[in-house]
Amino acid sequence: MSILDRFSLSGKIALVTGASSGLGAGFAVALAEAGADVVLAARRRDRLGATCREIEQLGRAALAVQTDVTDPAQCRAAVEAAVGRFGRLDVLVNNAGLGTAVPALRETPEQFREVIDVNLMGAYWMAQAAAQVMPPGSSIVNIASLLGLVKSFLPQAAYAASKAGLIGLTRDLNQQWSGRRGIRVNAVAPGYFRSEMTEPLPRAKLDAFIASTSTLGRMGEQHELDTAVVFLASPASSYIAGVTLAVDGGMSGH
């Protein structure tokens, strides 16, 4: 097998959560470009159509499934839909996420719980459902965050806690599944990328923060994150397990 062949996902079936827009839609298309057929899961099913068409234009199959990852039953249903349509599931990208910036003394229990429910517990329920059917050689990629590793310039206790928890969850699930079931579990910790989540952030403060902490001095581009996700999903990373790969322009190493 050649080096480039090891990055191929030809014949594989991937499921991406939070695939209705932004980074998740980009991941779904990138996996299709690598050869996978893709199941797109999101709460907003009506927004999955454009990404499905883009995948189909690449000659790959796409399936849209309305899924709220905070509901374990809906996570199981998404996995069942993948297996029902394609007969298998080889890759899970846990991308569904919710970002907030609320001062800790004003954050309500409901606000905090909502972030944890989506970002951490949702990833757990989906991984749990997927691992029931994934064959040996499969890969789970959790989309964590730079803020699970370092401080933010905004008050983001719930978000930071959820992403730090997701990094810990990645290590533990890999410990349980990689040797015994042959399912590798890794995480990507993105820095600041243009997306729905970063759009509302105060741009001047964000630019100043990036300039002072990133060795590259800029925001990331979607393709720079796509390649990391495809790498961890593919056989190219077959000896990488339980790690969190920071894709942050050097910010976590500052």
Phi, psi of 58 (to 5 degrees): -85, 0
Residues 183/135, Cβ–Cβ less than 8 Å:
no
User: What is the rounded CA–CA span in Å between residue 123 and residue 70?
Assistant: 8
Report the relative pairing of strands 62-66 and 37-42 from DSSP bridges. Answer: parallel
Number of neighbours of residue 231 by Cβ within 10 angstroms:
19
3-state secondary structure of 239: coil
Number of neighbours of residue 78 by Cβ within 10 angstroms:
27
Residues 141/188, Cβ–Cβ less than 8 Å:
yes
Q: What is the DSSP letter of 236?
A: G
CA atoms within 13 A on the CB side of 44: 13
User: What is the rounded CA–CA span in Å between residue 27 and residue 113?
Assistant: 27
Catalytic residue check, 159: yes
Which member of 124, 159, 192, 239 is catalytic? 159
227 burial (CB, 10 Å; 0-12 / 13-18 / 19+) is middle
CA atoms within 13 A on the CB side of 169: 26
Number of neighbours of residue 44 by Cβ within 10 angstroms:
11
**Would you name the residues annotated as active-site residues?**
159
